[in-house]
Amino acid sequence: MKEWLMNEILGLDDVEALARDALKRAGASDRAAASVARSTRAAERDSIRSHGLMYVPIYAEHLRCGKVEGLAEPEVHRPKPSAVRVDAKDGFAHPAIDAGFDSLIEAATAQGIAAMTVHNSYNCGVLGHHAERIADAGLLGLCFTNAPASIAPWGGKTPVVGTNPFALGVPDGAGGATLVIDQSASAIAKSEIMLRAREGRAIEEGWAFDATGAPTTDAEAALKGSMAPAGGYKGFGAGLMVEVFAAALAGATLGKDASPFSGPLGGPPRTGQCFIAVETGALSGGAFGARIEDLAAAIADQDGARLPGSTRAAARARTEADGVIVPQDLLERIINS
């Protein structure tokens, strides 16, 4: 095995190899390990720590305890010309999405619009990366993923929906994305609270409530209570919308019934995803590209403003030049996982 501990600054190839090797040792197939490792690389490339290498020991734990089936072979079905349905078979979401992705792009290109749902699934990593992948294929991508319940209805105390991100990838007409919107229904990603709890740090005001429904800055108390929805009742509404697409429409497990993405208990979460891809020319009469350029300029030309996704783009340039700084204890946890 490569002596990773000799260096805390890793190149992206090393990040991917480190993740892939750990996942294979824990019982993932070559295909599953490679797919999740690519996602881990992309998260570290974009400086999204919460979905990068820090998640690898969790993935490994879930492979070993049976929360994720490492040898699962996703099944792809085409019930309608514009509909793709993937059964992840209790395995990782990433290889299931990969299995149906070409069919989604083919159907959207041929039909003008198509949707792919994934059920019996798991955490799909950074949702915006999937939306960007659709945009890179020249299509408008709208994506949803549900998660174990962590947000209570506004005025309630019992979580009903998860942080439930949604993402939009807008193509630039040249094989890339003009902008990528990626946001969750919660004020902050749950993985950020988990990170603070692991590091023994307080969370910010307005991020969460404790089990009694009172606001808290204690990360451990927050994990036992409820995440605060972004924008109050509007955030819960956004989470509910995602639940309709990613759970109900996908035929996946509702967040309120899903086992947690953290810890070994509860068996496979069997959550879901939904991806909508749109061929923009037919619906816009060919005007889409010009309208997006105009819209993007109206944002980017303002001092202090930025297009959604531009921060990630800047992080990519830094990471590709400087590498990824990985804490020694995290390297040890990955190697020993």
pLDDT (tens digit per residue) in 165-188: 999 999 999 999 999 999 999 998
82, 148, 218, 219, 248 from 227: Cα distances, Å: 36, 12, 12, 11, 22
pLDDT of residue 240: 98
Residue from 8, 47, 50, 284 carrying the catalytic annotation: 50
Q: Is the pLDDT of residue 250 over 80?
A: yes
pLDDT of residue 6: 52
pLDDT of residue 5: 53
CA pair distance 52, 19, nearest whole angstrom: 9
DSSP state string for 53-76:
GGGHHHHHHHHHHTSS-TT---EE
Identify which has the larger pLDDT, 76 or 156: 76
What is the percent of the chain where pLDDT is above 70? 98
Model confidence at 141, pLDDT cuts 50, 70, 90, reads: very high
Residue from 47, 192, 220, 337 carrying the catalytic annotation: 192
Over residues 311-330, mean pLDDT: 91
pLDDT of residue 1: 42
Model confidence at 263, pLDDT cuts 50, 70, 90, reads: confident
CA pair distance 170, 127, nearest whole angstrom: 14
**50 part of the active site:** yes
For residue 65, what are the contacts with CB-CB under 8 A and spacing of at least 6? 264
| Domains of the chain by start residue, with CATH | 4-65+315-335 (1.10.1530.10), 75-186+229-284 (3.30.1370.60)
CA pair distance 272, 146, nearest whole angstrom: 6
Do residues 82 and 50 touch, judged by C-beta distance below 8 A? no
Burial of 76: CB neighbours in 10 Å, binned 0-12, 13-18, 19+: middle
Residue from 29, 39, 44, 51 carrying the catalytic annotation: 51
Q: Is the pLDDT of residue 235 over 70?
A: yes
pLDDT tens column, 72-109: 999 999 999 999 999 999 999 999 999 999 999 999 99
Identify which has the larger pLDDT, 155 or 137: 137
Over residues 62-66, mean pLDDT: 97
Q: Is the pLDDT of residue 155 over 60?
A: yes
Amino acid identity of residue 137, one-letter, is A
66, 220, 241, 254 from 271: Cα distances, Å: 15, 24, 15, 7
Q: What share of the chain is helix, strand, coil (3-state, %, to 5)?
A: 45, 20, 35
Q: Is the pLDDT of residue 326 over 60?
A: yes
pTM comes to 0.93
For residue 195, what are the contacts with CB-CB under 8 A and spacing of at least 6? 49, 50, 54
CA pair distance 106, 158, nearest whole angstrom: 42
Q: Is the pLDDT of residue 192 over 90?
A: no
